[in-house]
A and B are shown apart, each in its own frame.
Chain A
């Protein structure tokens, strides 16, 4: 069984987000980049599945050379090999198109992504890859099991869950619950240095969207503190001032 895990290089979850150049560039100064947390879940499940079914896990990233430490981290966690498509990830469409082209030439039984990246939160790459390959996709799964040529997945829905069976190959975006993330051990870290990391060039694709600028949320006013022994005051503030109850 061959699994492809699409990974993103994103700012660490503790990053304070700021912008430069008149709010047109994300300020990467001092920012630590990490493997997207949802992608770590996808990777962990892919490793578990291939351990059980004797297969391999390839990780793929669309990024410039600066993303290689994140790719090596994925190799240290247990991916078999890695591919980096050498380009700035312009948007989800650009990334999905590059990865779909790679899959057309190198077929996989299963393609996993995180449910979203924690920078642009689009949840788009999985569905776009699937549409480009004309195969099924399922967004935001909480459970994934493989049985022969098909899989059983649990998908999150408003107020509940849905259980589906899907024939391989398909694309899924993983969320919490699919697997516990794996911490690389020393042997993994050592072997990651020599595992194959193939760099390929991007293909050209029509641009459909551009990020023009950024905004930060308006700061809230000073908090109004209500004494713990006058909770009724809070209720009347919420009713009369905030008008939310």
Chain B
């Protein structure tokens, strides 16, 4: 047995969430006293691949092939399943990213593995069980899922496990897996990625606006604050429903669930559906003119005040802080 971790890249670079899952997979391999292999698919430089050793991978399987440059769900799932068989891996770990959500269920079926999606902690192996804590009810609770199958697939929620640097190096070897023609049935026509913006699901800091901002024309200061902090932008459901901001920024129960280190909510009252999607943020700051807003009850820090007064002041205070730092 061994542990296999799928290391996702964006345009040939690994992201922080990749190092999180390698660190997480290393810890599981340590729990089980077994080895950790990483698999990378796409065009990633040798140096970048070898650097996975720093997070605990002993071996990196590199699948580099023009046809596989971009994520193709079926093809990638076939390759990862092949790699798991070759490495005799009974545990496969990946990120609960958009692509991870496509891969995990297919791998579960291919490997006849129970799937723990959205894990937030290391498995509990007490008494020979394999129990994984995962988010449930859209962040309102956690479920403890026991994987009873021989093979197991775990997808880790971004920002829920700290990157740990290990004192090891990884060997990199090329890996080729057979793909069926039908693995390439879905064809990518276009990829539009705003490379200058921080992506919301794995952002460390998120700045979010609600109806209290009165209209899309007032988002300038929200964007300025986000840029200053290197934060991703988000919004509440009424804001995306009104078309002020794109649906991809909607966080909450029916939008994206996030768990950043810092979540700053501006002009959001904190309806239960919104709180569900953001409650696993480590630190929550609420700016709202209504002192009775329910969001203050679950916030760590709050300012009762008008966003149009407070946000510009916050921007200049952060500028001052950065200048003095």
Contact = CB atoms under 8 A, between A and B. Distances in A.
Interface string A197-233: 0000000001111111111110011011111100110
Main secondary structure of the interface of A (DSSP, over half): mixed
Contacts of A221: 300
Interface string B191-212: 1111101111110010000000
A228 B303 contact: yes
B136 A121 contact: yes
B144 A92 contact: no
Contacts of A245: 205, 229, 262, 318, 321
B12 interface: no
B145 A211 contact: yes
B193 A127 contact: no
Given A13-B273, A138-B73, A93 B98 contact: no
B253 A225 contact: no
Q: How large is the interface on B (under 10, 10 to 19, 20 to 34, 35 or more residues)?
A: 35 or more
Interface in B149-180: 149
A118 B298 CA distance: 21
B106 A160 contact: no
Given A119-B136, A119-B137, A208-B112, A162 B191 contact: yes
A11 interface: yes
B142 A176 contact: no
Contacts of A142: 247-248
Interface string A128-146: 1011101111111010000
Interface string B45-77: 000000000000000000000000011011001
A96 interface: yes
A166 B185 contact: yes
Contacts of B131: 212
Q: How large is the interface on A (under 10, 10 to 19, 20 to 34, 35 or more residues)?
A: 35 or more
A92 B141 contact: no
Main secondary structure of the interface of B (DSSP, over half): mixed
Contacts, number: 287
Interface in B212-228: none
Nearest to A129: B105
13 contacts: A15-B137, A121-B135, A121-B138, A131-B106, A156-B98, A159-B193, A159-B200, A214-B144, A225-B304, A226-B303, A231-B313, A232-B321, A244-B283
- Going nearest first, the 10 A-B pairs with the smallest beta carbon separation are A127-B105, A228-B305, A160-B193, A209-B114, A159-B199, A208-B114, A131-B109, A158-B199, A124-B105, A176-B247
Interface of B: 10, 15, 70-71, 73-74, 77, 97-99, 101-106, 108-110, 112-118, 131, 133, 135-149, 182, 185-195, 197-202, 205, 229, 240, 247-248, 250, 253-255, 257, 261-262, 272-273, 276, 279-280, 282-286, 296-306, 309-310, 313-314, 317-318, 320-321
Given A19-B141, A127-B73, 14 more contacts: A14-B272, A16-B272, A17-B140, A116-B101, A126-B105, A127-B102, A131-B106, A138-B73, A176-B247, A212-B144, A215-B142, A223-B302, A228-B306, A234-B285
